[in-house]
Amino acid sequence: MLRGLEMETPRTNLAVASQPSDTLTTLKTESETLKTKLEEERAKLHDVELHQVAEKIEALGQFVMKTRRTLKGHGNKVLCMDWCKDKRRIVSSSQDGKVIVWDAFTTNKEHAVTMPCTWVMACAYAPSGCAVACGGLDNKCSVYPLSLDKNENLAAKKKSVAMHTNYLSACCFTNSDMQILTSSGDGTCALWDVESGQMLQSFHGHAADVLCLDLAPSETGNTFVSGGCDKKACVWDMRTGQCIQSFETHESDINSVRYYPSGDAFASGSDDATCRLYDLRADREVAIYSKESIIFGTSSVDFSLSGRLLFGGYNDYTINVWDVLKGTRVSILFGHENRVSTLRVSPDGTAFSYARLLVNWSGSHSVITPL
Amino acid sequence: MAKNNSLHPNSNGETEDSPNMLVYRKMEDVIARMQDEKNGIPIRTVKSFLSKIPSVFSGSDIVQWLLKNLFIEDQVEALHLGTLMAAHGYFFPISDHVLTLKDDGTFYRFQTPYFWPSNCWEPENTDYAVYLCKRTMQNKARLELADYEAESLARLQRAFARKWEFIFMQAEAQAKVDKKRDKIERKILDSQERAFWDVHRPVPGCVNTTEVDIKKSSRMKKPHKTRKSVYGLQNDIRSNSPTHTPAPEAKQPTEEELREQIKFWQAQLDRHRLKMSKVAESLLSYTEQYSDYDPFLCTPDPSNPWISDDTTFWEMEASKEPGQTRVRRWGFVINEVLKDPVGREQFLKFLESEFSSENLRFWLAVQELKKRPIREVPTRVQEIWEEFLAAGAPSAINVDSKSYDKTTQNVKDPGRYAFEDAQEHIYKLMKSDSYSRFIRSSAYQELLQAKKKKSKNLF
């Protein structure tokens, strides 16, 4: 009898032990091996540096910029802003819950609404110019139709569209007033039908808060890029919800992502004090924009119309302008005590606006052009 | 382009740095170099009237050191970085509450590491009360309260009315301990303590560098490391403020997630990649092609509206009669024609003249479909099917059989992407065939030449 038992037990023990943790470990190793292999494959095609190829083009001259407009009116830090397609109107949102629509050209305030929540971290202008979307700590994205009636009560027409389980970090209309793309502190992005509030697609893959997104500038593409606190930038297929490509070279949170105007590449700004350029065809990081003296994180980035210049707003109250191809800094704007939160180039590239907090005043924007 | 090492292991042996800690470590690396005996800033004791000013260096010393050691190109930038470091309290002016850097003989002192921001200080108002109270017990002129401090003290007295006896006792005890210290040591410690409070209770109107972006504060990695008690008044336990919700435990991936990851990496490995040299050439040529259109590189014609206050440039872009520069752009790539409403119109007109406009009309219809609310999609899909693809369709288009079969299936369960394959096929056709003919057509060439005689080049 004893012998029978002795023969049985070892076998059953073995069978139990080879199940859960072994499979997980094997899979983990396999995943990591593949990831390393991918990095090797990507590196193989790196036969030259971008700035080396760019040596043959002329350097940009000394760059001077000037503030052309200052929009004052927010009571607190301006967190986000977006241009209207008409190239002159702007929507901005602030820490105290206010959302304001301006004609930046005349500096007139055209509409204002107070959200029921503070920290409105995201806002966007609809392509038609007839609506704006915004959200933040309320975990939602709401759409407000704009009318010409000055006595309108914007708040009454508010439409709740997106629902996340954590703060809304960014929102953006697709090329229609009818769909909105959102990113959230809950680690996901989602595409919504504005009219019904239905979620059309969700995008899972980030391991932490998603902080930013940008739609690919294409008449034909259905992709967008997102950046998050997991230091990853991911390119998504809007049709299927799948992550098409991902890049993980930053050393800290990615606060901002913007496509290069051709749509073949995108730039990112991070708390690691660098901006980086990733090319989708080369499938890797192709340039880093940094300096030893820049130690504060990048909060916002955007390209000039041709893609030659990259504007970066930083947490040390400066805006650094980079030559995208040569990798050098061509200009620096000091905001003194003005923290730069969002920076956006206008749709036709004639100016860029950045949102800031003026220490002794209140929140404001500046519209900057070349001299 | 220095690569910064964010991987300092902390006392728990972990190497993740939150965004704030990353910046603190970088500043502390600079401070360490500034304090280096050989290559750092020379610290000295200065004789002044009947007393000595211990352990100081001047503002210009800092600026010069930064210029030399951090490869900074100009004084303004050095001043800017120095001011930031002062605002975070790493060094401070000994005779001013306002923490900025001046490029002159103003004296500065280093902060003691105990008070560094990387220790995650969040001092309570009770501590501030003890501090201000203690100051009033010290008779030195240099320690007199500033107006804003006196106001704060008054407010705190009202707020902590019931606790005040206790606070007063603490202040007395602290003052006693301070008195026992060596005079020079006292001067240094007093100034460092004051600088600490200048960071955490800044002069009104000054930037508060302890303000954290709310998106980051909710992810404080080591909440139990937050220090709140400067004078030992309360236990160093976290409060329940929103900035201290514990970071969720990093979840171990499940088996399914790992399998998904593996599939993803495999798909990535199969991807076709371009050589960097090719990509670089492409980026260069794109940028070059569009630099004439970039208002930051080339003044717009007739002027940049923001500079001249004249909106002619915008009016021209919106006009139904396109200017030469605008027409030239259509020739770059098909998307430029499709993007511009007048471009689309011209392209359509051209195709109609050739009786081949159905492709473009189909493409436009599908674009429109994707812009509609989801409620309208099924009807629109039917309409497009009837018009372009059904047997006997009035504007029949030619798609390959594979796309046709797929589309037939999709239409049965109509979604926004029902015509995606067909649209892609048609787009490729237009790009390779119709578009190049349009660009070479006399209609386009006329538009391109038409304004050339009228406008003058501004070079």
Q: Is the dihedral of CA B61, B64, B65, B66 positive or negative?
A: positive
Distance from CA of B153 to the nearest CA of A (A): 23
Q: How far is A169 from chain B (nearest CA, A)?
A: 8
What is the average pLDDT across B73-98? Answer: 93
Q: Is the pLDDT of residue B12 over 60?
A: no
- CB nearest to B374's CB, from A196, A229, A318: A196
Q: Which of B6, B215, B258 sits opposite A24 (nearest CB)?
A: B258
Quickly tell me which residue has 């392209």 as its tokens.
Answer: B347
Q: B120: helix, coil or strand?
A: coil
Q: What is the CA radius of gyration of chain B?
A: 35
B181, B191, B19: which is closest to B91 by C-alpha?
B191
State the alpha helices, DSSP H only, in B36-121. Answer: 59-69, 75-87
Q: What is the pLDDT confidence band of residue A359, given thresholds at 50, 70 and 90?
A: very low
Q: Which residues of A touch B2 (CB under 8 A)?
A: 290, 292
Q: Which residues on A lie below 8 Å from B266 (Cβ)?
A: 34
Maximum CA extent, chain B: 106
- Checking if the pLDDT of B3 tops 90, the result is no
Structure confidence at residue A63 (pLDDT): 78
How much of chain A, in percent, has pLDDT values that exceed 90?
72
The H or E element that residue B55 is part of is: strand B51-58
- For residue B373, whether the previous peptide bond is cis, meaning omega lies within 30 degrees of 0, is no
**pLDDT value, residue B16:** 59
Q: Using CA atoms, how far apart are residues B414 and A326, in angstroms rounded to an integer?
A: 48
Instruction: Please check whether residue B19 touches A, CB under 8 A.
Output: yes
* Largest separation between any pair of C-alpha atoms in chain A: 98
Distance from CA of A16 to the nearest CA of B (A): 17
Taking CB atoms and an 8 Å limit, are A27 and B258 in contact across chains? yes
pLDDT, tens only, A3-42: 443 444 444 444 444 455 778 889 999 999 999 999 999 9
Q: How far apart are CA B207 and CA B199, in angstroms?
A: 9
Please compute the mean of the pLDDT values over residues A330-341 and round it to a whole number: 77
Of A100-104, B21-25, B214-218, B414-418, minimum mean pLDDT range:
B214-218
Cβ-Cβ contacts under 8 Å for A116 (sequence gap 6 or more): A97, A138
Which residues in chain B are closer than 8 Å to A296, comparing Cβ atoms?
A: 23, 84
- Tokens read off for A304: 């000039």
Residue located via tokens 């026992």: B180
What mean pLDDT comes out for the span B366-392? 94
pLDDT above 90: residue B45: yes
Cα–Cα distances (Å) from B415 to A262, B395, B426, B427, in that order, read 28, 22, 19, 20
Residues 197-226 of B with CB under 8 A from A: 205-207, 214-216, 218-219
Tracing tokens 């793309």 back to the chain, one arrives at A181
The Cα–Cα gap between B15 and A233 comes to: 21
Comparing CB atoms, the residue among B80, B261, B279 nearest residue A281 is: B279
| Contact yes or no for A367/A69 (Cβ under 8 A) | yes
pLDDT range class, residue B78, cuts 50, 70, 90: very high
Q: Is A53's pLDDT higher than 60?
A: yes
State pLDDT tens for residues A198-236: 999 999 999 999 999 999 998 777 999 999 999 999 999
Instruction: Looking at the complex, report in whole angstroms how far the Cα of residue B161 sits from the nearest Cα belonging to chain A.
Output: 31
| B16 at interface of A, judged by CB pairs closer than 8 A | no
Which among B355, B353, B358, B426 has a CA at the least distance from the CA of B395?
Answer: B358
Given pLDDT bands bounded at 50, 70 and 90, which one contains residue B234?
Answer: low
In the prediction, which pLDDT does B170 show?
93
Does B15 contact chain A (CB < 8 Å)? Answer: no
Give the closest-approach CA distance of B385 to chain A in angstroms.
Answer: 20
Q: Which of A92, A65, A89 has the alpha carbon at shortest distance from A76?
A: A92
The answer to whether the CB of B55 falls within 8 A of the CB of B43 is yes
B394/A contact by beta carbon, under 8 A: no
Q: Which residues contact A117 (CB under 8 A, 6 or more apart)?
A: A97, A136, A137, A138
Question: Residues of B with CB below 8 A from A246's CB?
Answer: 264, 268
- Closest-CA residue of chain A to B369: A176
Residue B161 CA to residue B154 CA, distance in Å, equals: 10
Radius of gyration of chain A (CA): 24
Give me the interface pTM, i.e. the ipTM. Answer: 0.89
Q: How confident is the model at residue A338 (pLDDT cuts 50, 70, 90)?
A: low
Chain A contact present for B302, CB below 8 A = no
As a whole number of angstroms, the distance between CA B249 and CA A180 comes to 31
Contacts of B269 in chain A (CB under 8 A): 34, 37-38, 41
Task: Give the tokens for residue B39.
Answer: 């290559």
Mean pLDDT of B109-134: 93
Residues of B in contact with A41 (CB under 8 A): 269, 273
CB contact under 8 Å between B215 and A167, yes or no, is yes
CB contact under 8 A, A194 and B373: yes
pLDDT of A286 reads 96
Task: In whole angstroms, give the CA distance from residue B404 to residue B402.
Answer: 5
CA distance B136 to chain A (A): 29
Q: Which residues of B touch A293 (CB under 8 A)?
A: 66, 70-72, 77, 81
Half-sphere exposure of A289 (CA within 13 A, CB side): 30
Residue B144: per-residue pLDDT: 82
Residues in Cβ contact with A185 at an 8 Å cutoff, skipping those fewer than 6 apart: A164, A166, A167, A168, A169, A209, A210, B215, B218
Q: Which long-range contacts (CB under 8 A, 24 or more apart) does A129-135 make?
A: A129/A84, A129/A85, A129/A86, A129/A89, A130/A177, A131/A177, A132/A82, A132/A91, A132/A99, A132/A101, A133/A161, A133/A171, A133/A173, A133/A180, A134/A80, A134/A91, A134/A93, A134/A99, A134/A171, A135/A162, A135/A168, A135/A171, A135/A182
Tokens matching residue B229 = 């008690």
Using CB atoms within 10 Å of the CB of residue B369, give its burial: 0 to 12 exposed, 13 to 18 middle, 19+ buried.
buried
Q: Quick check: B271 contacting A, CB < 8 Å? A: yes
- Taking CB atoms and an 8 Å cut-off, how many pairs form between chains A and B? 264
Report the gap between the CA of B357 and the closest CA in chain A (Å). 18
Task: Identify which of A198, A205, A262 has the alpha carbon closest to the alpha carbon of residue A228.
Answer: A205
Q: What is the pLDDT of residue B5?
A: 37
Of all residues in chain B, the one with the smallest CA distance to A251 is: B6
CA distances to A171, B22, B242 from A255, in Å = 14, 15, 21
Residue whose entry in the numeric block shows the structure tokens 């923290």: A339
Q: Which of chain B's residues have a Cβ under 8 Å away from the Cβ of A90?
A: none
Cβ contacts of B284 on chain A, cutoff 8 Å: 53-54, 57, 325
Q: Do A211 and B288 touch (CB under 8 A)?
A: no
B269-293 pLDDT tens trace: 999 999 999 999 999 999 999 999 9
Q: Give the CA-trace dihedral at B367, B373, B374, B379, to 10 degrees.
A: -70
Instruction: Give B425-440 pLDDT, tens digit per residue.
Output: 999 999 999 999 999 9
**Average pLDDT over chain A, rounded to whole?**
88
Q: Give the Cα separation of B128 and B132 in Å (integer).
A: 6
**Dihedral class, residue B232 (left if φ above 0, else alpha if ψ from -120 to 50, else beta):** left
Predicted TM-score (pTM) of this structure: 0.89
- State how far the Cα of B386 lies from the Cα of B411, in Å rounded to an integer: 11
What is the average pLDDT across B48-53?
Answer: 86
CB of B316 within 8 A of CB of A293? no
CB distance B164 to B267 below 8 Å: no
* CB-CB contact of A205 with A226 (8 Å): no
For B67, the closest chain A residue by CA position comes to: A293
Beta-carbon neighbour count of residue B355 at 10 Å? 7
CA–CA separation, A152 vs A164, rounded Å? 29
Strongest mean pLDDT among B7-11, B69-73, B224-228:
B69-73
Q: Which of A265, A325, A369 sits opposite B284 (nearest CB)?
A: A325
Show the 3-state SS of A111-146.
EEEECCCCCCCEEEECCCCCEEEEECCCCEEEEEEC
C-alpha to C-alpha distances, A56 to A26, A50, B280, B289, nearest whole angstrom: 49, 11, 12, 16
* pLDDT score, position A299: 94
Identity of the residue in B273, B282, B295 whose CB atom sits nearest the CB atom of A45? B273
SS (H, E, C) B10-22: CCCCCCCCCHHHH
- Does residue A210 contact residue A165 with C-beta atoms inside 8 Å? no
CA distance to partner chain B, nearest, from residue A3 (Å) = 38
Indicate the helix (H) or strand (E) that contains A234. Answer: strand A233-237
* B2 and chain A in contact, CB less than 8 A: yes
Residue A14: the pLDDT is 45
A162-210 pLDDT, tens digit per residue, is 999 999 999 999 989 999 999 999 999 999 999 999 999 999 999 999 9
Are B295 and A27 a contacting pair at CB < 8 A?
Answer: no
- The residues, any chain, with a CB within 8 Å of residue B264's CB and separated by 6 or more, are A243, A246
**Across the interface, which of A290, A295, A316 has its CB nearest the CB of B1?**
A290
A348 and B295 within 8 Å at the Cβ level: the answer is: yes
Nearest to A120 by CA among A162, A80, A84: A80
Across chain B, mean pLDDT equals 87
Q: Is B374 on the interface with A (CB under 8 A)?
A: yes
Confidence of residue B179 (pLDDT cuts 50, 70, 90): confident
By C-alpha distance, the chain B residue nearest A278 is B279
**Contacting B residues, span 154-193, partner chain A, CB-CB under 8 Å:** none
Over residues B10-33, the mean pLDDT reads: 77
Residue of B nearest to A307 (CA): B287
Per-residue confidence (pLDDT) for residue B219, from 0 to 100 = 64
Q: What is the pLDDT of residue B207?
A: 80
Rounded Cα gap, residues A339 and A313, in angstroms: 9
Residue of A nearest to B282 (CA): A264
